[in-house]
Structure 1
Amino acid sequence: MTSLRTRALVHSTPDGLTVRELDVRAPRGDEVRVRVRASGVCHSDLHLIDGDWPSDEELVPGHEAAGVVESVGDDVLGLQPGDHVVLSWFPPCGDCVACGRGQQWLCTGNMCNEHRLPDGGTAYSADGRDVFPFIGVGALSEYVVVPEAAAVKVPDELPFEIGALIGCSVATGVGAVVNTAGVSAGQAAVVIGCGGVGQATIAGLALVGASPIIAIDLSAERLEAARGVGATHVVDGGASDVAAQVAAIAAEGVDFVFEAVGHVATISQAIALVAPGGAVVLEGLTAADRAVPLDAYAVAAEGKRILGCNYGSTVAARDFPRLASQYLSGELPLDTLVGPRISLPDAIGAFEDMRRARGGRAVVVFGE
């Protein structure tokens, strides 16, 4: 096997975002090389681009993708060329304490947060210079190399655009409901922020039978989309009486509030909205080191819980096939989560749309 040329979106501090030609080496050991067919434009990538999560390295953004295995390393056991896969940006090492507890979403043995493959390196290069994969994937590229644990086989009939979203936003949103919070039928829930993760959270709440399901957002377009995936009520987040509207809808109080924005103000709002004994689930990621004021006495006295949600407490090998099956059976209506289908260069504009909360989840679609 030899290296390939790949067109990729690259972010660097001096140049910003540019489309570049890179070399991507052959897979080694337990790695697989995947031809990407669809890659979502996710808010986590925007944190990198806007400097919320600063890096002085050249990085290929993107971590939400699906594609077809092109080649495999000598130690790969469960995949072969031609398999359709969804990529996970947090593959388990299998050896750390968290993995031993079955909490693979808390793995401390991978190097994703350092933007490295498990061996500490990268498969990308340009003119002999290393270019690194954002969160260990770098999926806004025609080809990626990832460890086998990061490529989960799914049915061939699963559309690549849906598979891409399952790899991050859907796994996070539905997982927050099912895995992290354990919401039961009939419990009242609020979702603050109706971007990709928020929409998936609403779909997950509808799946388990939560009621009412109240969506809050500043965008009328996104609120209308929220109705399409299961919201029973919508509230304009810019209204002066948001809390009163929520109280009128959920007269017995809100059991769960899912914060899918990652802003200090909406996190504080979520804590205020949840009923005594209820739980706030933090899905949205803030800028690094951002602190949130907390009335600790009130939280303790009212028995409120604050649950951190990393990747929807997802075990990719278990949850990705289940989510694919639920989509294919019609249980999860995920088609409306796919926004504009765009080319790789158009991803630059899609990030600007995301900054302005315009449109749905853009998905870069690569050719045959």
Structure 2
Amino acid sequence: MSTTVKAAVFTETGTPPQIRDLVLPDPGPGQVRVRIAAAGVCHSDLSLSNGTLAQPWPAVLGHEAAGTVDAVGEGVTSVTPGQQVVLNWAPPCRDCWFCEQGEPHLCKHSMDRTAVPYAQLPDGTPVYPGLSTGAFAEATVVPERALIPMPEGIDPAMASVLGCAVLTGWGAVNNAAAVREGQSVLVLGLGGVGLSVLQSARLAGANPLIAVDTSPDKEELARSLGATDFLLSDSTLKKAVRGLTGGRGADHAFEVVGKGAVVRSAWDASRRGGQITVVGVGAMDDEVRFNALELFHQSRTIRGCVYGSSDPAQDVPVLADLARKGELDLATMITDEITLEDVPDAFERMRQGKGGRSLVRFDT
């Protein structure tokens, strides 16, 4: 048996998707079929589509999503049909060395499924799930461990951004960098993840909280989500940040663009002994250079941060509670609600640095 749904199917690198029928098999042992309520359009989807990240074709991209369990396979016990869930695009195996060390975000097997077809076109052509998930479709089939029961009191569409943008941003601030109240924070890049870093730093009590982007149109949005200051990303950035931080530079800088030049800007705008957290996904050939003396003399710490260094099963309920209390604003981050056909336009907005999160909604 199988189910046919509409999906945005990408056939090769650098080309827009086609809206086509996708044939999903019934869920096998340990698998679950989920009807998607909404899927956020993440910069990682753009990176997959343009070849920055490797992706076998044809594929259905989209990995930040929430929906309702439609059917379960043999042996599934944690969710039931009709239950609302948030998707986890990097589900940990819980058995590898990294998982046993308390680092499920680095799980050795979390990405195994990306190289395995999960569906097919009507002519039998196998189709791959982008980042294990394939959420730019009316439904998808994923392993049971890739699902987090949706906490009560959260709009299913808004809950989709909990699965990537918000979790990644909140985790970068709290799990990776451990920002403390009163520390200065610099956020470079105000897309969906950057806006989540901004909100999370506000909740952590950062002050000043400096937002940086290439677009002056982002200032109002940044300030509404907690920025105390807004700067344009240009040659004066280092001096401007020092002027806001007692001449020292930022205690914490978060790079949320995925560009070597922005990583370098984050480094230069940080204080001696400061911390730089690289959240953006950059290209393999985009290098960053440091000299040996500055590494010693500046005594800064630079780290990468995968998926917010998080354990989604533990952290998503915390985020949902913050959203229910009104402390975490999910709706303001979403600047465009779109259909599947509008995904290429959302990609173009990201390329141009416009807007916050675009959300593909299926429940309308």
- Give the TM-score taking structure 1 as reference length: 0.95
Deviation at 1:265, TM superposition (A): 1.0
More displaced stretch, 13-22 vs 66-75:
13-22
Q: Offset of 1:111 from its aligned partner?
A: 2.9
1:6-85 alignment runs, 5 A limit = 6-13=5-12, 16-85=16-85
Which AA in structure 1 matches 2:236? D
Shift of 1:176: 0.2
Give the Å deviation of 1:55: 3.5
Deviation string 1:265-312 (CA, Å, 9 cap, x unpaired) is 111111111111111000001123432112232122221101110000
Q: Is residue 244 of structure 1 aligned with residue 239 of structure 2?
A: yes
Question: Structure 1 residue 125: deviation in Å?
Answer: 4.1
CA contact (8 A) 1:87 1:151 kept: yes
How many residue pairs end up in the alignment? Answer: 362
Could you give the per-residue CA deviations for residues 123-181 of structure 1, whole angstroms, max 9, x where no partner exists? 44442121000010011011011111111011243112321111101111111001111
In structure 2, what is the Cα distance between the partners aligned to 1:237 and 1:48?
A: 26
1:261 corresponds to:
257
- Judge which range, 54-63 or 300-309, deviates more: 54-63
* Contact 2:117-2:129 at 8 Å conserved across structures: no
Deviation at 1:121, TM superposition (A): 4.2
TM-aligned CA distance change 1:124 to 1:103, over 3 Å:
farther
Letter in 2 for 1:365: R
Give the 3-state SS of the residue equivalent to 1:262 in structure 2. coil
2-structure distance, mates of 1:244, 1:100 = 44
Deviation sequence 1:247-275 (CA, Å, 0-9, x none): 11111431100000011111111111111
Classify the secondary structure of the residue corresponding to 1:65.
Answer: strand
**Aligned partners of 2:265, 2:111: CA distance in 1, in Å?**
34
TM-aligned CA deviation for residue 68 of structure 1: 0.6
Determine the C-alpha separation between the residues in 2 that align with 1:341 and 1:94.
Answer: 35
Q: How many Å separate the matches in 2 of 1:311 and 1:126?
A: 34
Aligned counterpart, 2:170: 174
| Secondary structure of the structure 1 residue equivalent to 2:164 | helix
Q: Which secondary structure state, in structure 1, belongs to the residue aligned with residue 355 of structure 2? A: coil
Indicate the percent of aligned positions where both proteins have the same amino acid: 39
Q: Does 1:228 align with 2:227?
A: no
Quick one: which amino acid aligns to residue 67 of structure 2?
A: G
1:5 is paired with a residue of what secondary structure?
A: strand
Mapped to 2, the partners of 1:110 and 1:231 lie a distance apart of 34
**5 Å matches for 1:94-105?**
94-105=94-105
User: What does residue 318 of structure 2 align with?
Assistant: 322
Q: Distance in 2 between matches of 1:128 and 1:60?
A: 15
Task: Kindly state the Cα deviation for residue 360 of structure 1 after the two structures are TM-superposed.
Answer: 2.3
Residues 288, 19 of structure 1: alpha-carbon distance in 2 compared, 3 angstrom cutoff: farther
Partner letter of residue 114 of structure 2?
H
Unaligned runs of 5+ residues in structure 1 are none
Give 5+ residue unaligned stretches, structure 2: none
**Residue of structure 1 in register with 2:150 after alignment:** 154
Q: Name the amino acid aligned to 1:93.
A: C
Counterpart position of 1:88? 88
Q: How big is each residue's C-alpha offset from its partner over 1:73-113, in whole Å with a ceiling of 9 and x where there is no partner? A: 1111110011111111100011100111121000002335x
Query: Which one is further off, 286-295 or 242-251?
Result: 286-295
Q: How well do the aligned residues superpose, as a CA RMSD in angstroms?
A: 1.5
Aligned-pair distance for 1:54?
Answer: 4.0
Which residue pairs with 1:275 in the alignment?
271
Q: Say which of 132, 146, 159 aligns to 1:136.
A: 132
Q: 1:167 to 1:285 in 2, by over 3 A?
A: same
The answer to whether structure 1 residue 336 and structure 2 residue 328 are counterparts is no
Q: 2 CA distance for matches of 1:270 and 1:66?
A: 33
CA contact (8 A) 1:40 1:65 kept: yes
Task: Say whether residues 1:356 and 2:352 are aligned partners.
Answer: yes
Paired position in structure 2 for 1:4: 3
Length-normalised TM-score, structure 2: 0.96
Using a 3 Å threshold, how does the CA distance of structure 1 residues 156 and 124 change in structure 2: closer, same or farther? farther
Q: Is the 8 A contact 1:161 1:338 kept in 2?
A: no
